[in-house]
Structure 1
Amino acid sequence: MEKSNENKLNALVGHSGNSDVDLVVNIDINTKAIAYGMLCSLYAKGELTELQLVRAVEVLDKLIRRDKRRRKSKKNLANENKPALLDPPEQSSRRNRY
């Protein structure tokens, strides 16, 4: 008896007109401020010397610049691979009467 109820439920939900949609959400969190804060915290606690702090900030900036270049080049490649969308030809105001 339960089997027929289950089949009816599947039919109602499975064919309700809703389609399977894959949704992709990219979340980009800028962690640069957190990284700088962590370096300053290590310096304030005495775990880094001033020279080590300067070097760490330089390396962090270098990594951030490299990441920006990589993202920019990937974005450019993605744009090059997309097909060009052309405007449709303009239609005349007269209609064919044939």
Structure 2
Amino acid sequence: GSREDGEPKGEEKICTVCGDRATGYHFHVMTCEGCKGFFRRSISKGVGFTCPFTHNCTITKAKRRQCQACRLQKCLAVGMRKDSKLGLGSLP
């Protein structure tokens, strides 16, 4: 079989939030670049999202952009923490 990025077969990492292909640990959780950026933007702006549905939206790769409120809630639920801005140059 073919190998991607030099990783052994069966070692593909999955985003804990949406199920997309993860790129590593971001904010303490294995996530994809999309969820990493979404979480970083959400916490830096301090915006309050409101779910237009039932506050129980399913967050998948295909549907992750449909409800920002539930996506952010899932980020927090799986353990993403705003106190750990790893790799964002937070050192003085």
Report which of the two has the higher share of strand: 2
**Computing the radius of gyration over CA atoms, which structure comes out larger, 1 or 2?**
1
Larger relative contact order (CA 8 Å, sep ≥ 6): 2
TM-score class, shorter-chain normalisation, is under 0.3
Report which of the two has the higher share of helix: 1
Give the TM-score taking structure 2 as reference length.
0.22
